[in-house]
Amino acid sequence: MIIKTFLLFFYIGVFSFGGFYASLPLVRHEFVDKLGFLTVSQFTDIILITGMAPGAAGINAATYIGYKLAGILGSFAAVLGIALPTVILLIPLMGLVVKYREKPVVKAAFCGLAPAVVALVVGTAVTLGKDTLVDIKSVIIAVIALALMRYTKLHPLYIIFGFGIVGLLL
């Protein structure tokens, strides 16, 4: 299971354009829908926990999922798997992007990538919404949290912790 965990996260790392939240549809497809290693509830919990924990969400999620699948060695395998593609692919690629960023072909590629990444993040939000907005209380909390995020200068951590407390009280 350790090698399988490494290979799955390496695959996700290779195709995680736009960061971890943009790659969530791929993570869900592999671990929930295709392989059944996680339930929808566990997947949602992982997103919540990794979003609140310090550090990169992708590394946090890999650590959590790897541990669930294969213990401590699974965590190491998952983190190595998700980080290694960045070292192998992204670092050399970024050198080329920086060097040629003013070229029309590079600008055009980013003009196409940016909306696609936004669509992946929105798609993930819709999917999570279907799984978590299950009653009127959860919808109200989501709307208030979105309004606070959009119209105030509150740090997201205050919103997260504040509504964690609200959830405990409710």
Separation of alpha carbons 78 and 7, rounded Å: 8
pLDDT in tens, 29-57: 899 999 999 998 888 888 878 877 777 88
Q: What is the mean pLDDT of each run of 10 residues along the chain (170 residues)?
A: 93 80 83 90 84 80 92 96 87 83 88 84 80 88 92 88 88
Is the separation of the CB atoms in 7 and 81 below 8 Å? yes
**pLDDT given for residue 88 in this prediction:** 87
Which pTM does this prediction carry?
0.68
How many whole angstroms separate alpha carbon 108 and alpha carbon 18? 16
Tokens 């509150």, located at residue: 154
Question: What is the greatest pairwise CA distance in the chain?
Answer: 55
CA 70 to chain centre: 21
Q: How far is CA 141 from CA 122, 144, 145, in A?
A: 18, 5, 6
State both tokens at 82.
Answer: 């998700």
Question: How confident is the model over 64-81, as pLDDT tens digits?
Answer: 999 999 999 999 999 999
pLDDT, position 136: 92
H-assigned helices in 16-155: 20-28, 40-52, 57-85, 91-100, 104-132, 136-151
Are 42 and 128 contacting, i.e. CB atoms less than 8 angstroms apart?
no
CA dist 80 and 27 (Å) reads 16
pLDDT at 18: 66
